[in-house]
Structure 1
Amino acid sequence: MGSGKVTTGSELQDFQGKHVTVAGLGVSGVPAAKVLHARGALVTVVNDGDDARAREQAAQLEALGITVRLGDGATLPEGTELIVTAPGWKPDKPLFLAARAAGVPVWGDVELAWRLRGPDAAPWLAVTGTNGKTTTVQMLASILKAAGLRTAAVGNIGVSLLDAVLGEERYDVLAVELSSYQLHWAPSLRAHSAAVLNLAPDHLDWHGSMEAYAADKGRVYEGNKVACVYNAADKRTEDLVREADVEEGCRAVGFTLGTPGPSQLGVVDGILVDRAFVANRQKNAQELAEVSDVNPPAPHNVANALAAAALARAFGVPARAVRDGLRAFRPDAHRIAHVADIDGVAYVDDSKATNTHAAEASLASYESIVWIAGGLAKGATFDELVAKSAKRLRGAVLIGADRELIRDALARHAPEVPVVDLDRTDTGAMFQAVTEARRLAVAGDTVLLAPACASMDMFTNYNQRGDAFAAAVRELRA
């Protein structure tokens, strides 16, 4: 890790009279436009869409005196001195190419929130990674609360960062989830400590390459003060730490599902232990919690708990608060959620496993599985996932638009596994999928919905997909 002068961007907080273009309406754009307008900026909002929802949002902003251009997100408004963009807008959009040519900086909502912090602002403990971000941030917030700290889970989850930074409630520390999109547009963010949980190919259509995706994830380490937390089982995360420019004295802290070395957190005989934030870490270790305190105690979730514990310990949280916070944590729906047991078979909803990396972690949590998978592949390939998971599969039931990609991978790497290929993409297909899975399963098996794909070919989102699975299981049990 390098070290150098850390800039805060505080010199750019005065927006009075500045011509600011906000790119995109929606969850981040509307609040950003209002905040900038309230601080005296001359705000123009541009938006690609011109539907009823956009027109409704535009009317609200225009009533405040904010200019809105619908159906024209490509043209750089004359006189623009700064763009604040919704995180999902791709860097190669014509608006940003024009901005680059004109020397106009581009920020995301995270960058805006960072620069609007007050002088006594709460430090940020930041989490990113391909999978596990939300769970880890929620675990971290639970641990911080158990230590008596005023905190909130914010960022790409829960409370918006602008609300957290500008609201009346005062926080001691914030647990911040950050996506690769948000980090791309947050050049001056400097966290107290940060973690990259894992790296696997995702959103490559947005970033352009795996290297660019990893580089944006690695931005979370820039300027860290106390700890850069990495996954000892994922060398790419450690490489990002080595490349980061951090404050003097900031440490690299690993987490592992095995026995931890010095400056790591890990697991010994069913106990989560800390050999990073203890005196004489060459010889000493601090017990933090039991694996059974993690809900659910699947391997990848234990890894999430270790990452959360590392960030909390970096902030000075005592060991007891780690245990109490993990015990109090309750995961969101559709994340390895046990739905029911029928005839000795467990039915588990992990609809949130929308990519191969998440599905691999989910499949590794059970010994004998009837796997329900499929949906929109988003350019993914499935050979590695199937090859790693083949020995655990009792059978597979495939649904969705791109199911043939998984079917072909199963044929190559698990030809002995029986496969039911449902040629349906209607929402009612889920009940048939669960019925077929029940037929394949025997007592002791787990019927696991871990689609490894996005849901939008059949459902509104992964929540609706998980709800359909749970409803089908309940109907079977009736």
Structure 2
Amino acid sequence: MPSEFSGKHVTVAGLGVSGVPAAKVLHGLGAHVTVVNDGADERARTQAAELEALGVTVRLGDGTASDSGSAAGLPEGTELIVTAPGWKPTKPLFTAAEQAGVPVWGDVELAWRLRGHGGRKAAPWLAVTGTNGKTTTVQMLASILEAAGLRTAAVGNIGVSLLDAVTGDTEYDVLAVELSSYQLHWAPSLRAHSAVVLNLAADHLDWHGSMEAYAADKGRVYEGNQVACVYNVADRATEDLVRAADVEEGCRAVGFTLGTPGPSQLGVVEGLLVDRAFVEDRHKNAQELAEVSDVNPPAPHNIANALAAAALARAYGVPAAAVRDGLRAFTPDAHRIAHVADVDGVAYVDDSKATNTHAAEASLAAYESIVWIAGGLAKGATFDELVAGAAKRLRGAVLIGADRALIREALARHAPEVPVVDLDRTDTGAMPQAVQEARRLAEHGDTVLLAPACASMDMFTNYNKRGDAFAEAVRELGA
């Protein structure tokens, strides 16, 4: 039976983890697919060859993809653009599309519209976004859903293509979906069963143009929610997004808090995670879900992630025991506040994933006495608020990377008594030296914490490589 895409001329903007599946799916549905891509490196050429073998047209280094220059026209006959999420809305290709009345979707929008295609079950989505904690929360959520005996997967901005999930052979009961602000920008018709915005802090402003635009794109996750809009009680901006959302009749606002929960909230009471939202007579009753010690690791921001995941699972009707069992079974990914080793009474913790100040703030709040390894590419961030909040916890600081001077200056202003080692180097060999300097500053009972508050690309391929270098240097200490 022909699909709505049969014979349609679709331009896919960008290759990579989203563009290639989109091109394959659309081609399989009978569309005439043209892929345009900025770069023409070896990876792009390999992906292009794979698609061309199927009959897809690929144009590498295409001028329509450029941020500058005059070649901004649409490929001839384009009736729809499906874009990789990272492509900025300001690209000339999208300007030309708007002028021509051609719709622009992201791969998430395409996946949403293909739910139930070919007679498959249209699994509901439990959606997670926020500046930090998305991946961990989605993985916790998937673990809880699995503990309840549901067929599920953690998908979206987590490395598993949503298109593969909705068009593959496996029929899921429900999906745990991580969504970035980029993906939400290009997903106008998405309507989740329930969703959460974990937190909001300035990030990706070069892409969105302003904090207001960034927050608005995050808030799209609440549009059309059916059962629950979950928000962070400690972050008023997330509640404001719930208030602004147009949801289905009967959809509820549900908060999560590290304190004692009020009605319609999940929170913490005497070392227990408790639910006062999805219980009978929530004004008088509460349901124990798990112990704080069931959360791995039980750092404050991770407990918040667990509560958010529990709220979404409970919105879907998961029993309390499955929340406990799912949290116990969950193992966090590497480089997320991961304990590497204890050496001479000092703990070494890898939180290389803390690539912005908001994430680093949460990491620093988890320990009492810290030698902090920080620095990298600041991405326009400032560090005064971060340093001022963490000053009393700092035993010392070791700074690396291109923008370390910004952190050094903030330390001088807000923590002048804290000893600082400024390593004037941006090569990968700086990490072993940084670990050695941190060891010199640390005392028994301290934590040496890699929480850079910066991106890694000035020194490393990605935050994973940065964390690996830290862990290797720590292991050499104990050798």
- Report the TM-score when normalising by structure 2: 0.96
1:75-86 equivalent positions in 2, closer than 5 A? 75-86=73-84
Q: What's the secondary structure of 1:83's corresponding residue?
A: strand
- Contact 1:13–1:115 (CA under 8 A) maintained in structure 2: no
Partner of 1:186: 187
Give a deviation string over 1:91-115, Cα, whole Å, max 9, x none: 0000001101111100000000000
Alpha-carbon distance between aligned partners in 1 of 2:145 and 2:301, rounded to the nearest angstrom: 21
Alpha-carbon distance between aligned partners in 1 of 2:31 and 2:339, rounded to the nearest angstrom: 50
Q: What's the secondary structure of 1:353's corresponding residue?
A: coil
Deviation at 1:56, TM superposition (A): 2.1
Partner of 1:314: 315
Give a deviation string over 1:64-111, Cα, whole Å, max 9, x none: 221111111243112211000000000000000110111110000000
Partner of 1:96: 94
Deviation at 1:158, TM superposition (A): 4.0
- Contact 1:82–1:106 (CA under 8 A) maintained in structure 2: yes
Deviation at 1:51, TM superposition (A): 2.1
Partner of 2:338: 337
Alpha-carbon distance between aligned partners in 2 of 1:52 and 1:291, rounded to the nearest angstrom: 47
1:435-446 equivalent positions in 2, closer than 5 A? 435-446=436-447
Confirm whether residue 151 of structure 1 aligns to residue 149 of structure 2: no
CA separation of 1:13/1:278 partners in 2, compared to 1, >3 Å: closer, same or farther? Answer: farther
- Contact 1:127–1:133 (CA under 8 A) maintained in structure 2: yes
Alpha-carbon distance between aligned partners in 2 of 1:345 and 1:31, rounded to the nearest angstrom: 46
Deviation at 1:295, TM superposition (A): 0.2
Deviation at 1:426, TM superposition (A): 0.8
Give a deviation string over 1:288-318, Cα, whole Å, max 9, x none: 0000000000000000000000000000000
Aligned residues: 467
Partner of 1:40: 30
Deviation at 1:53, TM superposition (A): 2.2
Moved more, 36-45 or 350-359: 36-45
Alpha-carbon distance between aligned partners in 2 of 1:306 and 1:53, rounded to the nearest angstrom: 40
Partner of 2:231: 230
Alpha-carbon distance between aligned partners in 1 of 2:155 and 2:73, rounded to the nearest angstrom: 32
Structure 1 stretches lacking a partner, 5+ long: 1-11
Deviation at 1:254, TM superposition (A): 0.1
Partner of 2:359: 358
Confirm whether residue 61 of structure 1 aligns to residue 51 of structure 2: yes
Q: What's the secondary structure of 2:190's corresponding residue?
A: coil
- Contact 1:37–1:66 (CA under 8 A) maintained in structure 2: yes
Alpha-carbon distance between aligned partners in 1 of 2:179 and 2:373, rounded to the nearest angstrom: 29
Partner of 2:422: 421
Alpha-carbon distance between aligned partners in 2 of 1:13 and 1:173, rounded to the nearest angstrom: 24
Alpha-carbon distance between aligned partners in 2 of 1:180 and 1:284, rounded to the nearest angstrom: 36
Partner of 1:280: 281
Alpha-carbon distance between aligned partners in 1 of 2:48 and 2:447, rounded to the nearest angstrom: 49
Partner of 1:327: 328
Alpha-carbon distance between aligned partners in 2 of 1:156 and 1:433, rounded to the nearest angstrom: 32
Q: What's the secondary structure of 2:17's corresponding residue?
A: coil
Structure 2 stretches lacking a partner, 5+ long: 66-71
Q: What's the secondary structure of 1:172's corresponding residue?
A: coil
Alpha-carbon distance between aligned partners in 2 of 1:170 and 1:30, rounded to the nearest angstrom: 22
Alpha-carbon distance between aligned partners in 2 of 1:48 and 1:110, rounded to the nearest angstrom: 21
Structure 1 outlier segments of 4+, above 4 Å: none
Alpha-carbon distance between aligned partners in 2 of 1:204 and 1:158, rounded to the nearest angstrom: 23
- Contact 2:145–2:152 (CA under 8 A) maintained in structure 1: yes
- Contact 1:191–1:223 (CA under 8 A) maintained in structure 2: yes
Deviation at 1:212, TM superposition (A): 0.3
Amino acid at match of 1:390: A
Alpha-carbon distance between aligned partners in 2 of 1:420 and 1:148, rounded to the nearest angstrom: 51
Confirm whether residue 23 of structure 1 aligns to residue 21 of structure 2: no
Confirm whether residue 404 of structure 1 aligns to residue 405 of structure 2: yes
Q: What's the secondary structure of 1:27's corresponding residue?
A: helix
Alpha-carbon distance between aligned partners in 2 of 1:466 and 1:59, rounded to the nearest angstrom: 34
Partner of 2:258: 257
Confirm whether residue 389 of structure 1 aligns to residue 379 of structure 2: no
Give a deviation string over 1:378-414, Cα, whole Å, max 9, x none: 1111011001111100000000010000000000111
Amino acid at match of 1:381: T
Alpha-carbon distance between aligned partners in 2 of 1:150 and 1:71, rounded to the nearest angstrom: 41
- Contact 1:229–1:255 (CA under 8 A) maintained in structure 2: yes
Alpha-carbon distance between aligned partners in 2 of 1:379 and 1:187, rounded to the nearest angstrom: 29
Candidates 113, 116, 125, aligned match of 2:114: 116
Partner of 2:69: none
Q: What's the secondary structure of 1:245's corresponding residue?
A: coil
Give a deviation string over 1:92-144, Cα, whole Å, max 9, x none: 00000110111110000000000011163110000000000000000000000
Partner of 1:9: none
Deviation at 1:231, TM superposition (A): 0.1
Give a deviation string over 1:224-247, Cα, whole Å, max 9, x none: 000000000000000000000000
Alpha-carbon distance between aligned partners in 1 of 2:251 and 2:3, rounded to the nearest angstrom: 27
Confirm whether residue 169 of structure 1 aligns to residue 170 of structure 2: yes
Alpha-carbon distance between aligned partners in 2 of 1:56 and 1:270, rounded to the nearest angstrom: 52
Identical aligned residues as a percent: 88
Alpha-carbon distance between aligned partners in 1 of 2:294 and 2:49, rounded to the nearest angstrom: 50
Deviation at 1:17, TM superposition (A): 1.1
